[in-house]
Chain A
Amino acid sequence: MFAVNSWTVRLVVLPLALLLGLLVLPAAQAAVEPGDSAIEARWVALQGTPGDLGPELAAPNDKPRDVRNSQNVLLGRVQDFTAGSIFWSTGTGAWDVRGAIRDRYLAAGGAGGTLGFPTAAPETLASGGAQQVFTGGRIYWSDVTGAHALQGAVLARYLAGATAALLKLPTTDETAVAGGSRTVFQGGEIYRSAVGARVVSGAILARYLALGGSTGVLGMPTSEEVAAQVAGARVSVFAKGRIYWSAGTGARAVYGGILAKYLAMSGERAYLGLPKSSVYAVRGGHRVSFIYGYITQLSGKSAVVTGYWRASVRTITAREIPYTYRSGCPVGPASLRRVKMPYYDWAGVPRLGDLIVRTSAADDMQRVFKRAFGARFPIRQIRPVDVWKGSDIAAMAADNTSAFNCRKVTGNPYRLSQHSYGHAIDINTVENPYVTATQVYPAGSRTYLNRRWVRKGMIVSSGPIAAGMRAEGWPWGARWSHPDYQHFSANGG
């Protein structure tokens, strides 16, 4: 193909046309390739442009030429100049690419590569540096970072929301790692894998990298940093673990069987709270320390949760207990306390119980339940009877442990239940039934009348509950002729 650039047109063809006559001119004009005039126009427009984007374009050192892909399909035209090139295609028009951006662009295959043609002139960024947009990606450049291309999912993630402001400029190109790629920025990193591109930054990134990054114990990130279910805390999820962060605990990695156990007990929302260490070795296994306990994974065994005792006592309002406290009750909210204290549930997981008792009984109950907690005595749940709308029958059937419930004795409007005073408690009501002359309460608990066959949750005389209650002077209903194995009270009633 006969190629004629604009200099040829100006300096050679036009004078010849004037000399040789009008027949030559139409032939010369017909020989100009599509886009070449646009390239020339771009070049002309750039004459005298200040050099903040790089050196001014000097005189042409080459003729325009075709841009073709690997299948030899014509894509557009390009003309090189002393300090840059102008690329043209039908869809993008003619745009100059210069300096370090051009170097990076050409290294990536130029217009015939995956970046395609430029769609705009280079532009400076408010944050410093410059970028140029191409049909297949962008190249970012600064004196500090050099020029690096972003494409595909990584670029899309970078451009989404305020990510670019967080990450600032790329300091590497997208680099292949096992399972995907990694791109490093001034303020973080983007990892691309089968699940998409994920940003990792800040203290979580530092912890991630310290643990070997994508090739370490955590693997590739599968989520980005999001708010954890504890106020002020953040969490990032990786293929094989998690990193939790809070100002008070720092960034801590949890993985393996310890993480599985932690998540099974509702993670950071559960009693243990946030991790305050990453996984560390102990004799025969590993452990993670949390704010209120730790999880230990010994080799070949299931992870075991151990909680630290922490109890709180606070006042209560009538609004909090609408079903169990009503006008006319002999003990008002001012004389009641809400005791939050831990217990081990059926799965051996510490939970925070919620017991409403008479103020004078609050200390007694803390001592008893601390003793039970220390012995890992299992308790199904400790919740106010309000959860069951004040129904003792329903609370018993739910195997609840509770104390205060202001109500009349059924069938006698002039007699108050002992629980109205808040100094009687029922514990693990299914495993410790209440027996009358004709009935066993709750339904399904009769098997537990065999007290010699001790099963989980049963109160036995030598156990921590009965011993603790004895120490506090709270008699046990088990001694009654019709035993109430679940019942203890301050006055023996």
Chain B
Amino acid sequence: MSAFPPRRRISFLVTVTAAVAVLAGCGGADDPVRQAGPSPSTESVSSAGEAVVPATPSAPATPLPSPGKTDAAGLVVPARTAGDLDELSVPPPSDLGRGWQQFIDPGDVAEGYTGNGAWVRERGASEVVQAVVPLGCAGLTSPPVLPVPQHALEATYRGPGDAPGVAIVLDYASSAQASRFVAGMAKIARSCEEPAGKVRADDPLTVVVEPVRIGARTVLDRRREYGVGASEWLWSEMVVQHGARVGLLILASPRSSEAPDLNRLSERLRTSVSR
């Protein structure tokens, strides 16, 4: 079970990141790995959970096994590459703007995945095309069936204010399949309109996608959530195609702040995907 409030979970991840990053020894000079210590909120006892105090018995940290092996939880540690895709296939944090850094997701065994000590990791090809579909899209009664790529690689970021960001590169067998994926994402962007009635705070979580630009090889949009458990962030999403590859990039920013320049970011993404 790990549906933490966003800020708390982020704090947790950042905390674990520090230890894991040291073990992994990754992160370039230009794109430092986020190694912040626990935030004050991590130490506090909240209504959701309570801080582990030193006297509390807990298992010692377990060194991460090599990619492809299983960790202490029996989960397969993801590889740092996927087919021909590697960390050069995803945008470096510097492309995302000021304050963005690599983020080593330690994984969450309760959610069924584990980390590999790096900021990039292979994703299950079948699983990832299900996971990119937004949940609670009012106009999307029948989500498109997205084609399954041959390979998928994920990169994770943290930005200003602990804003999360994720990039995924999908490598298809053909550009036609890649186009079908982009067309599916375009349909989603068009379908997730503002609901007819106002979404109340205790209504089921609803995602609203505002299309910014939709083309044959590009889908740019912004996502917001309403209802129970809604994310506090404004999500800026980019989907670009380059040949048989598709790049996805989604970045969080405070709703009150200026949203990222999607056109500029999407071209950076396309450049990375083409590598």
Question: Within 8 Å CB of B166, what residues of A?
Answer: 412-415
Contact indicator A418/B110 (Cβ below 8 Å): yes
Mark B157-189 against chain A: 1 for CB-CB distance below 8 A, else 0: 000000010101000000000000000000000
Contact indicator A410/B6 (Cβ below 8 Å): yes
Check if A268 is an interface residue, CB within 8 A of chain B.
Answer: no
Question: Within 8 Å CB of B228, what residues of A?
Answer: 323, 389-391
Known contacts being A413-B223, A438-B15, is A327 close to B56, with CB within 8 Å? no
Known contacts being A327-B137, A438-B15, A449-B56, is A413 close to B250, with CB within 8 Å? yes
Task: State which of B8, B60, B143 has its C-beta within 8 Å of the C-beta of A439.
Answer: B8
Contact indicator B111/A417 (Cβ below 8 Å): yes
Closest to B61 in A: A481
Report the minimum CB–CB distance from A469 to chain B (whole Å): 14
In residues 41-84 of chain A, which contact B (Cβ within 8 Å)?
Answer: none
Contact indicator B112/A493 (Cβ below 8 Å): yes
Contact indicator A327/B135 (Cβ below 8 Å): yes
CA distance A426 to B112 in the complex (A): 13
Known contacts being A329-B135, A389-B204, A446-B50, is A441 close to B72, with CB within 8 Å? no
Contact indicator A411/B9 (Cβ below 8 Å): yes
Report the minimum CB–CB distance from A115 to chain B (whole Å): 66
Contact indicator B2/A410 (Cβ below 8 Å): yes
Closest to B132 in A: A414
Check if A408 is an interface residue, CB within 8 A of chain B.
Answer: yes
Mark A459-493 against chain B: 1 for CB-CB distance below 8 A, else 0: 00000000000000001010111111011010111
Contact indicator A484/B58 (Cβ below 8 Å): no
Report the minimum CB–CB distance from B211 to chain A (whole Å): 17
Contact indicator A486/B1 (Cβ below 8 Å): yes
Contact indicator A326/B205 (Cβ below 8 Å): yes
Task: State which of A391, A435, A486, A487 has its C-beta within 8 Å of the C-beta of B58.
Answer: A435
Contact indicator A429/B45 (Cβ below 8 Å): no
Check if A322 is an interface residue, CB within 8 A of chain B.
Answer: yes
Contact indicator A480/B5 (Cβ below 8 Å): no
Contact indicator A418/B111 (Cβ below 8 Å): yes
Question: Within 8 Å CB of A405, what residues of B?
Answer: 3
Task: State which of B9, B49, B53, B202 has its C-beta within 8 Å of the C-beta of A389.
Answer: B202
Contact indicator B235/A413 (Cβ below 8 Å): yes
Closest to B114 in A: A493
Mark B1-44 against chain A: 1 for CB-CB distance below 8 A, else 0: 11111101111110110000000000000000000001000110
CA distance A493 to B2 in the complex (A): 12
Check if B156 is an interface residue, CB within 8 A of chain A.
Answer: yes
Binds B, one of A94-102, A228-236, A392-400: A392-400
Check if A133 is an interface residue, CB within 8 A of chain B.
Answer: no
Contact indicator A493/B113 (Cβ below 8 Å): yes
In residues 87-141 of chain B, which contact A (Cβ within 8 Å)?
Answer: 105, 108-113, 127-128, 130-138, 140-141
Report the minimum CB–CB distance from B171 to chain A (whole Å): 16
CA distance A77 to B145 in the complex (A): 100
CA distance A435 to B207 in the complex (A): 30
Question: Within 8 Å CB of B207, what residues of A?
Answer: 328
Contact indicator B143/A327 (Cβ below 8 Å): yes
Contact indicator B49/A443 (Cβ below 8 Å): yes
Contact indicator B202/A437 (Cβ below 8 Å): no
Task: State which of A328, A410, A429, A483 has its C-beta within 8 Å of the C-beta of B59.
Answer: A483
Contact indicator A410/B47 (Cβ below 8 Å): no
Report the minimum CB–CB distance from B193 to chain A (whole Å): 12
Closest to A489 in B: B112
CA distance A259 to B183 in the complex (A): 66
Known contacts being A412-B166, A482-B109, is A443 close to B137, with CB within 8 Å? no
Mark A311-336 against chain B: 1 for CB-CB distance below 8 A, else 0: 00000000000110011111000000
CA distance A444 to B50 in the complex (A): 7
Question: Within 8 Å CB of A330, what residues of B?
Answer: 130-131
Task: State which of B46, B53, B229 has its C-beta within 8 Å of the C-beta of A443.
Answer: B46
Check if A169 is an interface residue, CB within 8 A of chain B.
Answer: no
Q: Kindly name the residue among A419, A436, A487 whose own CB sees the greatest number of chain B CB atoms within 10 A.
A: A436
Check if B62 is an interface residue, CB within 8 A of chain A.
Answer: yes
Question: Within 8 Å CB of B48, what residues of A?
Answer: 393, 397, 439, 441-443
Task: State which of A323, A389, A406, A439 has its C-beta within 8 Å of the C-beta of B50.
Answer: A439
Known contacts being A326-B135, A409-B2, is A414 close to B140, with CB within 8 Å? no
Question: Within 8 Å CB of A412, what residues of B?
Answer: 105, 156, 164, 166
Question: Within 8 Å CB of A480, what residues of B?
Answer: 59, 72-73, 109
Contact indicator A477/B135 (Cβ below 8 Å): no
Question: Within 8 Å CB of B204, what residues of A?
Answer: 322-323, 326, 389-390
Question: Within 8 Å CB of A392, what residues of B?
Answer: 1-3
CB<8 Å pairs between A and B, sample of 8: A323-B228, A390-B204, A418-B111, A438-B38, A440-B49, A481-B61, A486-B1, A492-B74
Q: Which residues of B contact A (CB under 8 A)?
A: 1-6, 8-13, 15-16, 38, 42-43, 45-53, 56-62, 72-75, 105, 108-113, 127-128, 130-138, 140-141, 143, 154, 156, 164, 166, 168, 202, 204-207, 223, 228-229, 231, 235, 248, 250
What 9 A-B pairs have minimum CB-CB distances, sorted nearest first? A493-B112, A418-B112, A392-B3, A326-B136, A481-B62, A439-B49, A441-B49, A330-B130, A411-B164
Please give 8 more A-B residue pairs, beta carbons under 8 A apart, in addition to A434-B1, A437-B16, A492-B73: A389-B204, A392-B2, A409-B2, A410-B4, A414-B154, A414-B168, A440-B52, A484-B1
